[in-house]
A and B are shown apart, each in its own frame.
Chain A
Amino acid sequence: MTDHDEIALMVAAHALNALDRADERRVARHLATCKDCTRAYRLALDAVAALAASVDPIPPPLGLRGRILAALPAVTADEVVIDELAAQRALRATRRWRATTAATAVAAIAASILLAAQHRTIDDLRASQAVVAAAGPVVIVSGSTGHHVLLTTLKDAPAGRTYQVWSISPGTARPLSLGLVAGGGTLRLGQALPAGTTIAITVEPIGGSTAPTTPPIASVAI
């Protein structure tokens, strides 16, 4: 019997986690080099997934969630950079606006955007204040100018990823990129978006994509 023949008979047991450590290592080594066995292993995993799905879920003990999260190992170096950036940004916002919460910082940024665009009206400022109460990203349309501004209130995108904003208009074949935006950032979407336009946010590789590559994480029809 060749190694392949012998191991082909153990692939199912491997998928069931039913091999002892020595056999497990042996099969894993073979899988790294054998396409046929790898394919058989994936099919076996499908059947094992069905076995797993045959078990009734049971609510776990209440404290377990917290214990798992508390036990997570520290993030690695490139993730620390992102966290520091987020912290610096939050700090800057706090200093500039003496804001004490992320929400008021967002409202302050909203106001600044509308100010900078010189389309300040009392009502626009009220609108930006209303953002305080909003959970998640919002699109603000300035009543005085028709400018559309997107405010994100998201966590920073995962390492190596960015948020990208799209408009999907009736009658256009594919989503049009409106630009990239940070987790706690703003993006001017321009004026006069056609009625029925949907604004959506996706997570994309750094630099953005020419078309969305992941399902949207948030969307709204304007």
Chain B
Amino acid sequence: MATTVAHRAIIYRMSPVEESDGVLVARCGGGDEDALAALYDRHGGAAYGLALRVARDAGLAEDAVQEGFLGVWRGARRFDERRGSVRSWILSVVHHKAVDLVRREVARRTDPSESVPEQAGATDVPSEVLASFERRRIDAALERLPRAQRDVLALAYFDGLTQQELALRLGEPLGTIKSRTHAALGRLREILQEQR
């Protein structure tokens, strides 16, 4: 892309290469708010979707996303990319906040399975096409889990139940719940690897 100016000097505009998530996190560590905004633009939708799935309340989900991104801002300097992708880390932080908020609100909550909100706001913009393939792949993997294993994962991760709460809910000993959660996650990982 060269622009000739009056046949004497040439200006080459350098095309920006999209910064990797890792570079953005490093910039957050240096106090660059634009970098956090860029991470939010990339991952805010996934974070909000996850928070809403867990919190089942728009206000709580919003709080979880806000606290989560503040956690990302504060933790940016300690982030280690060898431990996993930036997106996974952000979603993990937001999920943790969502679970915390839900547990604080638990007294006000009725049976969570009764109030799943509509996901009418979900959009599939072109950049999300790959992610939607990934979702289908993971759905297929979850389908292959034995029902009891799938249930403990869903109740723990999406409903935010602690292991004790799970034992109470399912009327089974705590030790059984721990073993099943452990086995379920291990099996899910195996299935995902087999798919690759």
Contacts and interface: CB of A to CB of B under 8 A. Distances in A.
Most buried by B among A52, A64, A124: A52
Contacts of A8: 182
A72 B14 CA distance: 31
Contacts, number: 269
Nearest to A124: B9
Contacts of A12: 181-182, 184-186
A91 interface: no
Interface in B65-96: 65-66, 69-70, 73-74, 83-85, 87-88, 91-92, 95-96
B3 interface: yes
Nearest to B161: A18
Interface string A13-31: 1011111100100000000
Contacts of B114: none
B8 A124 contact: yes
B163 to A, nearest CB: 5
A15 B36 contact: no
A3 interface: no
Contacts of B16: 136, 217-218
Interface residues of A, number: 81
Contact of B83 (A42, A144, A203, A218): A42
A161 B11 contact: no
Contacts of B122: 56-58
Nearest to A143: B8
B60 interface: no
A76 interface: yes
Contacts of B27: 158
A111 to B, nearest CB: 12
A142 B10 CA distance: 7
Contacts of A93: none
A13 B156 contact: yes
A160 B30 contact: yes
A169 to B, nearest CB: 15
Contacts of A216: 17
A68 B66 contact: yes
A58 B10 contact: no
A60 B192 contact: no
A138 B17 contact: no
Contact of A47 (B30, B41, B185): B185
A203 B23 contact: yes
Contacts of A51: 138, 153, 157-158, 188
Contacts of A126: 5-6, 9
A72 B73 contact: yes
Contacts of A173: none
A217 to B, nearest CB: 6
B110 interface: no
Nearest to A60: B48
B98 to A, nearest CB: 9
A161 B8 contact: no
B56 interface: no
Interface of B: 1, 3, 5-17, 19-20, 22-23, 26-27, 29-34, 36-37, 40-41, 44-50, 52-53, 58, 62, 65-66, 69-70, 73-74, 83-85, 87-88, 91-92, 95-96, 99, 119, 121-123, 128, 131, 134-135, 138-139, 141-142, 153, 156-158, 160-164, 166, 178-179, 181-182, 184-186, 188-189, 192
Given A64-B48, A123-B5, 7 more contacts: A23-B162, A49-B87, A56-B122, A57-B46, A122-B6, A124-B8, A203-B26
14 contacts: A18-B99, A19-B162, A48-B92, A49-B88, A51-B153, A51-B188, A60-B65, A61-B58, A71-B70, A79-B31, A140-B10, A141-B11, A158-B26, A215-B20
